[in-house]
A and B are shown apart, each in its own frame.
Chain A
Amino acid sequence: MSTNRLNSPAELAALKQRLEKNRNANKTVVTVCAGTGCMACGCEAVLKTFHEERKKDRLENEVEIKATGCHGFCERGPLVVVHPSGVFYQRVKPADAKLIWEQTVKGGQLVNKLLYRDPQSNEIIKHEKDIPFYKRQMRIIFGKNGFMDPTAINDYILLGGYLALATALTKMTSEQIIGDVKKSGLRGRGGGGFLTGKKWATCRAVKVDPKYVICNADEGDPGAFMDRSLLEGNPHQVIEGMIIGAYAIGSHEGFVYVRNEYPLAVKNLTVAIKAARDYGLLGENILGTGFNFDIVISRGGGAFVCGESTALMASLEGKVGEPRAKYIHTVESGLWDKPSNLNNVETWANVPLIIERGADWFASIGTENSKGTKVFALTGRVNNTGLVEVPMGITLREILYDIGGGAPRGKRFKAVQTGGPSGGMLIVEEAQPKSHGSPVAHGDIRNENEAVNLLDLPVDFDELTRVGSMMGSGGMIVMDEDSCMVDVARYFIHFLTEESCGKCLPCREGLVTMLSVLRKISAGKGTMEDIKYLEELSQVIIDTSLCQLGGSAPNPVLSALRYFRQEFLAHVVDKRCPAGVCKDLVSHAIDNTCNGCHACLKSCPTSAIVGEPKRLHYVIQDKCIQCGACYQICRYNSIKRVKRGEGDKLQERAREQWRPPLKKVTAEVS
């Protein structure tokens, strides 16, 4: 394969020039998002349709079809963007693909029904860059995804890929590179937020060989998929970052530890590594500079705890993924007791940008102590779910409303959970509720200086920590008035009890205990003692856990207690779940706004709803299992989740009016 090998930076630059020259800027390129999210929505069939159509029309030379990485707007997938016009089609089905082919590709017309329609203004927006979801983002890392096929290294080089590597290897010393990274203020994107430059410098200073660089791609937080999309869509940027880092630190062996549940990421990464090797960008004598470095992919075994650096290294070594105390840092003694520099996928992806565009440029983005951008996985009860890349310092309000598009179905935002199971629930209540009267009580002013809602909180490392959460890896789960904070806290603790490695006592036993307490509260059997116990236990678990899985596990509970204490008290004192989620504390009932449309009756699995068409329906309380199916389906918001036992109060009139169906009577004629 030496014919492809780039033996010097000059050859790399020459290749880029060649590719640029050969590219026809006016050629039609149909890009289809082929990330896992859109795959799940059926983009493969869409791609197949395009290929078939192209073959039929014999336009192979005229039209390029490219399966790209994740575009980010996962709510609206499958996504198709046609270049050079930049027309953005969303929710494309295979049949729609045909339409696009005929009308847009061949005919140059738009297919209006597939264009994005802004829910607020009802306007159609044609181009990706104009869509609000994208407009407020700053996609310095993710931006390339839409333009490149992750399995084609030439696409990456065309976009300027590996130029930073060439610069670093030939024009900079290790100290200069580390200096730049330090100056940029880059902080770890995996959750710890540790200054990357400082970490590299410490690792470099250890006089032990060999050294290892590791990429932590074990993204375990529920609801986080930033690293997945990055590895699927642009693995080369991560690779480039790792090579630069290895050069700066003095390492020649790199590992990517990726969780086994990301098969597409593994596949694309493998292809990318091989392609890089072929080009002489990995392996021996990279770009003819004499620097050797290669990367090995290692897959995880299905343990959340292996996202913790020492557990990850144990797993890499082939041992059970159990953490150890970090009193001796892994940069001094890590993988096989050698100095090991571990960084997150996103952190590595930032490095080529810093080298290419300069530390000052990077430092100009973001806040004073949190530089650059962050990719968030915006999910939950928000209109526009997907991956968003925003500069540090943007407010929650902007993310939720301007980018997220507000709450669906007219509900109110209630909380945002950042940082996964290690983070906290932040209250984001509106000043003016526009609810339908559900008796919901949120928040509590713990001290006068604290705002009741954190909508205007600027999102950066320190701010999030200050208010009781953390940046984490970037998961951002939005919850509305129908989410119960006790239930959410219980969910996260349950997740952690299953993922705890079990080595240290506080995490292993403490989380199980907390789970049973939360379940108790959710079942309506909680006491004030239980809340006090939760707080005490949380503090001990934080203090004495061996690793950060345990050490940050109480955060969701503590933050929920901090901002939603009233809700806890409602469960404990009133035996009532204000959000209507905790099944034992809720009764579903139909009020007098019922239309009699029969939809709920049909959906009820236990036939607990009775009513004549066009007349008031009601829920037979004894039969109802609180599944909530009727609540989901009612279009008139007539189903109410009230305190357990109070259902019939709402349904008096309905019950009065209810007449059982007439039975046929046969008269006896004497």
Chain B
Amino acid sequence: MSFEPRIVGFLCNWCSYTGADLAGTARMKYAPNVMTVRVMCSGRVDPGFVLDSFRAGADGVLVCGCHFGDCHYVEGNHKCMRRIAITKRILKGMGIQPERLRLEWVSASEGARFQEVVNSFTEEIRGLGPMRLKEWAFVPEQVEAAAAAHGE
């Protein structure tokens, strides 16, 4: 039985959520692994949400927002990008592969893109394997070993 990634998706209400909606109304097929949480703007996404998602057992986190210039709240996506960049570094420091967090811009008409993003991310996480964070104790040596094992 192949591993089915569990991915939490934070979608901004105006662009990516609508884009996902569009994918739906257009009957596009995409992997069911992404479970969406709607936020008003990708700028709402607190790094805490990302970490909490991993803590709660997610194998990957997808954050989607509007393309630059299209943010309904003008610049929320800019702030999101900065936060996600820092969050990735934090993840790396914590021994979590930064690839497990992905930031994508999907606009309201890009149903096809949403489909493509979800599918490709799912496959990528599938390739990376399960997180098994719950199984880890917070042991520095173990973390180091795990990091070494992944060639960091």
Is there a direct interface between A and B, measured as CB atoms under 8 Å apart in the complex? no
